[in-house]
Every structure is written in structure tokens, then in C-alpha cells.
Chains A and B, each alone.
Chain A
């Protein structure tokens, strides 16, 4: 039994340096997730700022319409379809790397969800906080920056952490554009060893560990930000 497992592990990871597939794929998955998160936060922040400014002041009508269109399209279509459209249609004739395409696709996708998370956070802060800031003489932007956003961020941190976990897992469909991420690497090994169990469980465990670490980091940050509540 034991020798059987170590045999399988040997075949899956050591023989012909197959662990290198896993390492490479792991790197690609991390890279895509990291940059997609950054783009997601950037887009999400911008869209949320436009949408809540529109909700609160009635300004930025056209920008708000564009944002709504973006949200509807992104949230109304599957991420795999978005990924393939960006790869096969948008960048069809452009000489860009697959990692870049994946970063763009997942970043654009995540931005829509992050935008709504940020916006719900801003809307969750009472109007009184806003009025207190304005009554002291802060501009709309200063009130947002010093008073509303710090509180909103604290409120949405759990939802934001969750969104990034979802994003990390969603990058596993990158194989659809033949990008060799962690999932694809496991699949390549499976096709070589015909041992689906070991290769796929290995990949699953790596995802799980990554996500456990990330969850822990978020909860530490959350606890630090909560220090003013008690």
C-alpha cells in the first residue's frame, strides 16, 4: 500500500522532472491571480467611485451608464467565454502573451464584482458621516478619502477576501486558451502518467493550501482594522 503511493508520487512528480510542470504552473497561476487582483481593484475602485458619486450627487451621468453596461456584460456572461473572446477576438492579431491575456480577462471580470463590493461598502456608511465631513468643510473627495472609504474598506474586507479566493480558483480555466497554469500542469501530468488521482489531488492540495494561507492573511488584516470597534 505505502510503496504503491510512493510509486505513484514518484511517477507523478519526480520521474522525468514532472514537478517542473507543477512549479511552472504554480508560478503562472500566482502571476495571473496577482496582476488580475490589482487590475480588479483598480477597475473596481474607479467604477465604484463613479457609481456612488452618481448615486449621491447625480453627477457623472454618462460615465455611470458606461459603468452599468460594463457590469451587466461582465456579470451576465461566463468568465470562460470572456477569456476566449479576449484571446481569440480582441487580441487575435496582436502579439501579446497568454499570461497578459489571462491577466486582462480575469482582471476585467473581477473588477465588476469588486466594484459592487466597494459600492455596497460606501453605501453602508450612514449619510450622517458624510454630512459631518462636509459640515467641517471637507470637499466631496476629501470626505470620501478621510472618512467614508476607510470605514467602507473595513466593512467590505471579508467580501473582498472572498472575491480574491474566487478569482484564484477561477484562473483554473486558463487552460481554455492553452495557458499552462497549475490546473493545466496537473492535466498534462495526468495525460502522461494515466494516474488521474495523484496528479489532480496534488493540484487540488496546492490550491487548498494557497487559499488557507490567503484566508489567514485576510483575517489578520481584518482583526487589525477592527481595533477601533471595541
Chain B
């Protein structure tokens, strides 16, 4: 149950990313399979966000390759914009477009990039808004929403492009505690529906409950990975044991 869910959707080969003196990602090779929910945990500064942001090239790797659905997206000749359309991303700080309504936030990319008709885009947006329980917010501006609502809309905005994989970069870290649950619920629903997800988070409960695989990163490398049960009940790496003793 831990791996072999489906074909490989993202294949990372010997990834390196350096910021000045800091070797944020120091040689990672990894595979993400279709339908998998992979949760990445680790202390802050461990390179987990940089690794995640490399997957859609928001961080351009200094070395290594990333194959997305078989195509090397680190190749300069590849049109990265086309591939990003199929990789949804959710950010810690939501990054909704404040000058657009919720509906416009959701439909902007499908209409402009996929050439979807406005009526169809709106219809799809309403379905997704129903799913996250916010259909009444369609014509609201983001400034009127709570943090939890903003993040749910941000998830919808990414889903509206019908991505093959969803990347979550600490999606609940900027939320007030009482709003974390509503966002995690949506993510659980997505996981249940078979969405391929890579999630950087501090929510160990989510990792235990939803992940197929949990990865522990420290100092730019993967120190350990296992099924959630194995990961939390029987960690082998000493750094991971130390980390878990602090966060659990």
C-alpha cells in the first residue's frame, strides 16, 4: 500500500539547489506515483519547501533533472508554462489575487490559458466552490475572507485547471488554529478522490491519517521515508527520532 499505486508522474534525479552558501537541496532522487499522497516533513531550513518549489520550477535547480509525465522540464527548450498548467500549487500565504473576485480568481487561468468559455469556467468554479463549502463567496473580494476561506479558494483556483498533481507548500502554517481543520478536510477529500499530492506540512496528524508515504528531510537530503505507521512508530534515523520527539 505504500508505493506502486500507479505509474510514475514525477521523477526527480539528483536534484541540487544552492542559495549562496546554503546547499538547500543537496542531491535528491525521488519518484512520485499517480494517486500517491506524499507528505514531506522536517525542521525549518531543511530544504523541504525548496524541494517542493523545484518540482514546478518556481526554484530553478542548479543541477539534476525533473521528469514530469516523462518530459524533462528542466530542459531549457521545454515550455514550462504548459506543464505548470497541470501542476496545481497551494501556498502558505494563499496568494489570491486581491484585485479580482473569488470567481475571477478561479476562472482567470482556465479562460485565458485553456481557452475555456466563460460560462463553462464559471459553472466548473461553482461546482468546486460547492465542494469546499463556499458557493456564496463567488462575488466576494479576497480581502473579505478569513484565512481558512482564502486557502480553500486557493485550492479551488489550482483545481480549476484540472491538474494531474497538486503541490502544497505548508498550506496551514499561516492559519489561525481554529481554521486549520477546514483546510485539512478539503485536502483529505482530494486525497480520497485519488488526487496525486505532494504536501510539505507540520501537521503530523494529517501525515498519519492521509499520507501513503512520509518523507523526512534534513539539511537538504532525504534522511528517511516510510509508510506513516512505520515512520511514526518505528523511526530509524536518529535525527528523525529527535525531530519526532519535539513535534509529537
Which A residues fall within an 8 A CB radius of B? 126, 128-129, 131-132, 134-139, 142, 146-147, 150-151, 154, 228-230
Contacts and interface: CB of A to CB of B under 8 A. Distances in A.
Interface in B78-117: 81-85, 87-89, 91, 93, 95-101, 108-109, 112-113
Contacts of B56: 135
Interface in B106-133: 108-109, 112-113
A228 B99 contact: yes
Residue of B83, B89, B98, B113 most packed against chain A (CB within 10 A):
B98
Nearest to B114: A137
23 contacts: A128-B91, A131-B95, A132-B89, A132-B91, A132-B95, A134-B58, A134-B81, A134-B84, A135-B56, A135-B88, A135-B158, A136-B85, A136-B108, A136-B113, A136-B161, A137-B81, A137-B109, A138-B109, A146-B108, A151-B99, A228-B99, A229-B98, A229-B141
A194 to B, nearest CB: 57
Contacts of B93: 126, 128
A137 B85 contact: yes
Interface of B: 56, 58, 81-85, 87-89, 91, 93, 95-101, 108-109, 112-113, 141, 143, 157-158, 161
A112 B97 CA distance: 29
B95 A128 contact: yes
A151 B98 contact: yes
Q: Which 10 A-B pairs have the closest CB atoms?
A: A137-B85, A132-B95, A135-B89, A136-B109, A128-B95, A137-B84, A228-B141, A137-B81, A151-B99, A139-B81
A26 B118 CA distance: 48
Given A146-B108, A228-B99, A228-B100, A135 B143 contact: no
Contacts of A146: 108, 112
